[in-house]
């Protein structure tokens, strides 16, 4: 019996069935992306206290939750039977943990050769650091990204946990899963997807590595074209102590920037010796008006000047509201499903579940006929 873990499944992944072993950060984000795009995702939570507060955990939206105690042999058997029926199993545990539990990729693929077994980790499944604990900051540090963030002569500045956990980790895992599903369409066989955050960070560093090899990038912080090294690609404080972002790279955009600032007689930007003076003049001029005044002045131009909005402000931005980039659920903003599809659009589906909220109905829908016995034995828990 096919699972239907989204109330109204839509999107290009409609019909794809995913078993997600609950975790935090990049793994759940990958599962959210799959659910947003129409996959039917069953989240397997563990009994007891949860790693994050489940109420309002948007990262868990779009799927149902069943609780299985994988220390119980009957729960392990139940999970294997779910994997038999699944297209994808997604786990974010340390290397070797699922093998010790008896639900590793060899076991699951032997039972279901069409299964895509996705493994989300920081350091990867092998290598000298594979078993070491870690977090986003450490991954982007060792992979070479953190070194480039920040001002020249200052310490590295890190971008929250967006780059490693979500850009290089969860999104890479979702891409790998989709690619493996496409390949399975021709071969009929599943495979293991090893999604490591450090690998994803390296992939995102393609352009700096390319420019470095070409001699167009210095392996230093804050001295390059796209890292605040040039005055026309930087942020400036305004009269109301807010900020604007300036990204006037190409000559026509730079000309529009100068026109908007009312600066006609400025030194040639092609000479790096002039950059300190340019930066000083830009900073002085931006300090003369408020952020909103500058936003209005540059509206409709190609100067590439934008207000630096807070999270709250961004959810109310005119353009983002018009596109529906952020949506409201019960008065709380959430990102809309992305990317967008003309024929099979994703959908903002069910809100995040409580752990074990759907144990009985979900396991039954997935074809397990002994759900009441599993609950009675303590192998499964209905919230």
Taking only the tens place, the pLDDT of each residue in 291-348 is 999 999 999 999 999 999 999 999 999 999 999 999 999 889 999 999 999 999 998 8
- Which secondary-structure segment (H or E) carries 258? helix 251-261
pLDDT value, residue 6: 44
Pair type for strands 332-335 and 326-329: antiparallel
Which pLDDT band, with edges at 50, 70 and 90, does 4 fall under? very low
CA dist 176 and 195 (Å) reads 7
Residue 106: what are its φ and ψ, rounded to 5°? -60, -45
CB-CB contact of 60 with 353 (8 Å): yes
Residues 6+ apart with CB under 8 A from 19: 41, 42, 44, 79, 82, 83, 86, 88, 89, 90
pLDDT given at position 1: 33
Given a contact cutoff of 8 angstroms between Cβ atoms, the answer to whether 259 and 298 are in contact is: no
What gap in Å lies between CA 184 and CA 195, rounded to an integer? 18
The predicted pLDDT at position 50 comes to 79
Domain ranges in the chain are 17-204+331-381, 233-237+243-307
| 122 within 8 A of 196, measured Cβ to Cβ | yes
Which residues does the annotation mark as catalytic?
A: 135, 165
Determine the 3-state secondary structure of 90 from DSSP.
strand
Residues making up the chain, counted from first to last: 383
> Per-residue pLDDT averaged across 287-294, rounded?
98
Q: Going edge to edge, which strands form the sheet with 233-237?
A: 233-237, 243-247, 305-307
Residue 25 and residue 56: Cα distance in Å, rounded?
15
Q: How confident is the model at residue 52 (pLDDT cuts 50, 70, 90)?
A: confident
- d(CA 10, CA 333) in angstroms, rounded, equals 21
pLDDT(112) > 80:
yes
Q: Which of 46-55, 74-83, 97-106, 246-255 has the lowest mean pLDDT?
A: 46-55
pTM for the full predicted model: 0.93
Q: How large is the average pLDDT for residues 270-286?
A: 97
Cross-strand bridge partners of residue 333: 328
Distance, in Å, from the CA atom of 16 to the CA atom of 28, rounded to the nearest integer, reads 17
The pLDDT of residue 232 is 98
CATH topology of domain 17-204+331-381: Rossmann fold (3.40.50)
Q: Give the right CATH number for 233-237+243-307 from 3.30.1540.10, 3.40.50.12370, 2.30.30.790, 2.40.50.140.
A: 3.30.1540.10
- Band the pLDDT of 10: cuts 50, 70, 90: confident
């Amino acid at each position: 019996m096919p699972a239907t873990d989204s109330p109204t499944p839509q999107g290009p992944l409609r019909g794809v069935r995913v078993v997600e072993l609950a975790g935090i950060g990049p793994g759940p984000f990958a599962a959210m992306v799959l659910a947003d795009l129409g996959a039917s995702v069953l989240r397997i939570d563990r009994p007891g206290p949860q790693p994050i507060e489940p109420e309002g955990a948007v990262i868990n939206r779009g799927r149902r939750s069943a609780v299985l105690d994988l220390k119980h042999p009957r729960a392990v058997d139940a999970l294997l039977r779910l994997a038999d029926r699944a297209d994808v199993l997604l786990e974010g545990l340390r290397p070797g943990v699922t093998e010790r539990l008896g639900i590793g990729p060899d076991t699951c693929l032997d039972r279901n050769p069409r299964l895509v077994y996705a493994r989300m980790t920081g350091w990867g499944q092998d290598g000298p650091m594979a078993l070491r604990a870690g977090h986003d900051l450490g991954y982007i540090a060792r992979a070479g990204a953190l070194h480039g963030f920040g001002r020249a002569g200052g310490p590295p500045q890190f971008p929250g946990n967006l780059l490693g956990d979500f850009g290089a980790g969860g999104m890479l895992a979702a891409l790998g899963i989709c690619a493996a599903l496409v390949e399975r369409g021709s071969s009929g066989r599943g495979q293991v997807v090893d999604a490591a955050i450090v690998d994803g960070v390296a992939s995102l560093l393609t352009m700096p590595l390319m420019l470095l090899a070409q001699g167009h990038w210095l392996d230093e912080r804050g001295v390059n074209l796209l890292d605040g090294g040039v005055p026309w690609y930087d942020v400036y404080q305004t009269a109301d102590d807010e900020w604007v972002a300036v990204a006037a790279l190409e000559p026509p955009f730079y000309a529009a920037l100068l026109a908007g600032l009312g600066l006609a007689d400025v030194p040639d930007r092609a000479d790096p010796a002039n950059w300190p003076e340019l930066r000083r003049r830009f900073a002085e001029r931006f300090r003369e008006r408020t952020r909103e005044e500058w936003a209005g002045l540059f509206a409709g131009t190609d100067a590439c000047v934008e207000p630096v909005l807070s999270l709250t402000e961004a959810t109310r931005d005119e353009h983002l509201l018009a596109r529906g980039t952020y949506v409201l659920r019960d008065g709380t903003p959430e990102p809309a499903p992305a990317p967008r599809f003309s024929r099979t659009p994703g959908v903002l589906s069910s809100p995040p579940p409580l752990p074990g909220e759907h144990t009985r109905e979900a396991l039954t829908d997935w074809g397990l006929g002994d759900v009441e016995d599993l609950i009675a034995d303590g192998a499964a828990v209905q919230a």
